[in-house]
Amino acid sequence: MLKLCGFHISNYHNKVRIALLEKGVAFEEDPTCTPSQKDEFLARTPMGKVPFLELGGTTLAESQVICEYLEEAYPQKSLYPADPLARAKVRELIVLIELHVELVARRLYGQVFFGKPLAEDVKQSVEKDLAKGIRALRARAKFDPYIAGAELSLADCTAFVSLPLVSLATKHAYGRDFLEDIAQLKPYLKMLEARPAFRQVNEDRKAATARAKK
C-alpha cells in the first residue's frame, strides 16, 4: 500500500493527495510528518521536505516526481491528455504555477504566516518577478473550462492548491491580490471545488489550519 507522508496544510502534499483521490488509487497517509533536517528524516526524504511517498520498501520525494510516477504506475483515469504536445502544455502550466508564481510568492510567507519582517528589497523583487510569472500564466491558462483546456489535468490539481496561497500572500503583503485581474480564476476554483476530491482536500486543509492556529 502506498503511504503519503506530509501534512494537510502543504500545497505540494495536497496536490499529490488530490491526484491520488482523482485517480482512485488506494493509499494510506501519515499526515503528521513535518519537515526536518534530522538524519533519520533525511533518510526518508533527501531534502528533508514533504511530501514523500513510501512504497515497496523505498521512498519517493518531490511532488511532481510522485505525480509522474503515479501516472505511469496507475494509468487508469489519467491526469494528462493523450496527445504528447497537450501533455507538454499541462507540464508547462505546472512549471509556470509552481516555479514562476507560487515559489516566488513563497518569499513572502515568512511575513504573511509567521509575522517575520520582510525586507523592502525582497518585497520589490518579489513584485517584479511575480508580475512576469503571472503574465506568463495568463498567457497560457485556458479556463476552458479547465486550466489546460477541455480535460481535467494535473495542472488543475496544482492550480487549486497553489494559486489561492498567492492571492492570500499578495493581499497581505501589498494590500492587493495580484491574481485579481484574472477574472476567470475565482469561478474556475469554485468549479474545481465542486469535485469530491478537491473539496475533501480543501476541507482537510481548513481543519488542519484551524488546529495549527490553536
Ligand X SMILES: N[C@@H](CCC(=O)N[C@@H](CS)C(=O)NCC(=O)O)C(=O)O
Q: Considering the rule CB under 6 A, would residue 63 count as an interface residue with ligand X?
A: yes
Exposure of 146 in the CB half-sphere (CA atoms within 13 A): 19
Residues between 20 and 39 that touch ligand X (CB under 6 A): 35
Place of cell 485556458: 142
Q: Considering the rule CB under 6 A, would residue 196 count as an interface residue with ligand X?
A: no
As given in the structure block, the three cell numbers for residue 206 are 481548513
* Count of residues interacting with ligand X (CB under 6 A): 11
In whole angstroms, the minimum distance from the beta carbon of 39 to ligand X comes to: 15
Comparing CB distances to ligand X, the nearer of 5 and 179 is 5
- Interface residue with ligand X, options 25, 55, 59, 64 (CB under 6 A): 64
Comparing CB distances to ligand X, the nearer of 8 and 149 is 8
- Interface residue with ligand X, options 5, 18, 21, 50 (CB under 6 A): 50
Question: At residue 71, what is the residue type?
Answer: E
Q: Considering the rule CB under 6 A, would residue 109 count as an interface residue with ligand X?
A: no
Please write down the long-range contacts of 78-85, taking CB distance under 8 Å and 24 or more positions apart: 78/23, 79/19, 79/22, 79/23, 79/152, 79/153, 79/154, 79/157, 80/153, 80/154, 81/148, 81/149, 81/151, 81/153
As given in the structure block, the three cell numbers for residue 3 are 503511504
Q: Mention every residue, 6+ apart, whose C-beta is less than 8 A from residue 30.
A: 3, 4, 5, 6, 54
- Interface residue with ligand X, options 22, 62, 156, 177 (CB under 6 A): 62
Only segment of 44-52, 109-117, 140-148, 187-195 that touches ligand X (CB under 6 A): 44-52
Q: Mention every residue, 6+ apart, whose C-beta is less than 8 A from residue 118.
A: 108, 110, 111, 173
Comparing CB distances to ligand X, the nearer of 12 and 160 is 12
In whole angstroms, the minimum distance from the beta carbon of 144 to ligand X comes to: 26
Comparing CB distances to ligand X, the nearer of 45 and 149 is 45
Contact 185, 123 (CB under 8 A): no
Q: Which residues bind ligand X (CB under 6 A)?
A: 10-12, 35, 48-51, 62-64
